[in-house]
Structure formats: C-alpha cells, structure tokens
Amino acid sequence: MDAWRVYTRISVIESPSPPPAIKLFLCGDVMTGRGIDQILAHPGEPQLYEPYMRSALGYVEIARQASGPIPEAVDSDYIWGDALAELERARPDARIVNLETSVTRSNDAWPDKGIHYRMHPANAGCLAAARLDCCTLANNHVLDWGRSGLAETIETLRSIGIRTAGAGADETEASAPAVIDLPGGRRVLVFAFAMASSGVPTGWTATRKRSGVNVLADLSARSAESIARQVQAVKRRGDVAILSIHWGGNWGYSISPEEREFAHRLIDGAGIDLIHGHSSHHPKGIEIHRGKAILHGCGDFLNDYEGIRGYEEFLPQLALMYFPALDEDGRLVRFELVPLRIRRLRLERAHGVDALRMRQLLEREGLALGTRIEQAPQDRLLVHARSQIGAPPA
C-alpha cells in the first residue's frame, strides 16, 4: 500500500498540467475615419468624393441629429467607451481587429471609388488607447488614398507598436502573418486575406513588384492547400492560428455552402484554429466545427453610420465583442460575447431590449449552423454547440 501511495504521488507530480487557455478579443470592422476622425483631436481634411456627402463633417451632423450632442476634440479613448472596461475585465491575451480605414495624410483618392475612409495619423493614439496587438488590413478601404496612403498606414501602426497583416509593400509582406508572442513561448499567428466579393477593387492585389492587399482568388481546394502550406511553414506546437478574411457583401445573413466548406477545409487540414470573418455591417451566424470557431461575419464595431436610415432590420447600431478562449489544441473552452451599441460615435454597453435582440438574432442565425446562445449575467452571452447546452464547447 505504501509503495502504491508513493508511486501515485510521483505520477501526479510528474504529470504536466495543460497550459492555460489563450483568450482572444476579436471584433469586426473598425472604421475610425471620416466622421470619427473629425471629432478626434487632430481631424484631417474633411473633403470627400462621395455622391451622398462632400464633407466628413456631414456624418457628424447626422449622428448629432439622431442621438444628441457629440463633443469635439475628444480624448483618444472616447470612441471606445464601455469597450475599454470590458477589455480590462476580460484581460485577453491578444487583441485583434480589422482596421477598415487608411491612416494617412494622402490626398490621392483612389479613382472611380465611391467611398474613401481616412484618419489623420496624429489620431492614431485612439488605436493605441485600446492596446491593440494586431490590425488586419486586408479589406476594401485600406488603399482608398492610394499606395502612399497604404505605406503611411502601415508605418503609423508599426510606430505605435501595432502589428499588421494582409497588406504590404509587396506580396511577400502582404501575405506574411502577424506574430503575437505570449508568455511561455506560445504565439498567436494572424493570416489575413480579402476577397473580391467584399468590394476590393481590381488592381489592389499585392504582387512581387507592387504594394497592395493579400487577395484570395477563390474558395477552391487549391486555395485551401496554399494556405495550409503557409501555416505549416510557421506554426509550432502550442501556437494558435487565426485566418482573418474580408469576404461577402455589406448586408444580408446568408452564408454560402462554398464559404462553409472552405472554412471547414481550413480547420480540418490547414492548421487554422479560428476563422475571423468580416465585411458585413452586422453580425452573422457563428459556427463551431470540430470544437473550433467560425465567425462568418463579425459585423461593424466602430463606424460613423449613426442616424443613416434604410437598414434598420439589420440592427446596424449594435456591435459585438468576441472573447473566445482556446486550449492548447486551438479548441474552444469558453466563448463569451458582449453586446454593445454605437451612440454619439462611441461604444456603450447594450442592455435590456438591445441585448435581447442581439441574442435572438444570433440564436436565429445559429440554428442552421448548430450553435445556441445562452444568456449570461449582466447581459453577456455564451456561445455553445447545440449538443452541449449548459457546458463549454469542446
């Protein structure tokens, strides 16, 4: 008996405990240009080339008419509002957003493009205020102010310690993942792509001799195999690999069979642990495939659309913070969502009816994807696979 006890004690001591889960903060499109840029401390030139609006100040006025007074020359943390307290509470290991604006002084507006987003580089402190680790740039607005605007965007972000992925000086830089180092030698790898379906103009694709965006040509098995080779070249045991992809249109909840199949391929055979999809102006359904999260469309997180009419059915004023926690194999151990709303060009917690509407939306859209949304304290939400209600997804 004594020998058995000694053996048991030694076995317990020598058995390695699993590393702690990696908690991520993800969200959809962060657009800090145009109207938002105008209320920050260092607004850029407000001139626009849109048929709808000729000055970015017009978007501030529309928001004022809808929600009331909006201060001017606001502090860098103003726009994040209640999101900052949620980030402090959740304490994610990595903070990743899709930055859907150019950060530049450039006046080289891309020709024949109806919308141009731009924030003055002196306002980049608003991105540092959220302590972002990575801004993905593979989207349909990062070159709105030309290739010089793209270069200044990347230079500005790197100067304040924010990694980038999805765009660069050539195809090598544009396709390279952002690498976020974590304690214990683990890493978060962020691979970023954009597709023509999101509105990326012809001519934006990065090449060996030209700067631009990391554009994914199609959703074929060949494209999945190409991504698999890129991931395998850099991923180590214990790393978490995220594929951030700007795909699809701005409005509508439909998810094509091709999109789902492609996402499954990336998880099954390419070493991807989470799909971070965006482009839609509103959240789409969430899927859990073999214990790994597929965010088909995260929805806008920050924008200056407040007060613009026509898409009320999509609840465009509501936004989500995504907090997935992943184990050493990249599988979900917990997945929390925090509903927010945009009001006076800043984020505030969504409670009551707004939080209920978000839960109902995600529950409805998750039905065909096999997910269920559980109400959590303080109007937060938990995502589960339908076969595991009441327990964390495995």
- Could you tell me the CATH number of the domain that includes residue 146? 3.60.21.10
Q: Which of 176, 171, 108 is nearest to 136 (CA)?
A: 176
11 belongs to a structural domain: no
Instruction: Let me know if residue 326 belongs to a domain.
Output: yes
Alpha helix ranges (H) inside the chain: 2-14, 34-39, 57-67, 83-90, 125-128, 146-159, 171-175, 221-234, 257-269, 352-366
Whole-prediction pTM = 0.94
Cα angle for residues 179, 138, 307 (degrees, 5° grid) = 120
pLDDT tens-place string over residues 87-142:
999 999 999 999 999 999 999 999 999 999 999 999 999 999 999 999 999 999 99
User: Is the residue at 298 inside a domain?
Assistant: yes
pLDDT at 393: 39
Q: Is residue 4 part of a domain?
A: no
Residue 285 scores a pLDDT above 50: yes
Beta 22-30 vs 318-326: how paired, if at all?
A: antiparallel
Q: Please check the confidence at residue 14 and state whether its pLDDT lies above 70.
A: no
Q: Decide if 291 is inside a domain.
A: yes
Is residue 264 within 8 Å of residue 293, measured between CB atoms? no
In a domain, 9, yes or no: no
Contacts of 158 (CB under 8 A, 6+ apart): 164
pLDDT per residue as tens digits for the range 129-186: 999 999 999 999 999 999 999 999 999 999 999 999 999 999 999 999 999 999 999 9
**Looking at the domain assignment, is residue 122 inside a domain?**
yes
Give dist(CA 92, CA 104) in Å, integer.
29
Total number of domains constituting the chain: 1
Cα 308 to chain centroid, rounded? 23
Determine, yes or no, domain membership for 7: no
Reported as a single tens digit per residue, the pLDDT across 291-341 is 999 999 999 999 999 999 999 999 999 999 999 999 999 999 999 999 999
Supply the range of the domain harboring residue 105.
19-388
Closest CA to 244 of 359, 131, 135: 135
Report the distance separating Cα 206 and Cα 117, nearest Å.
20
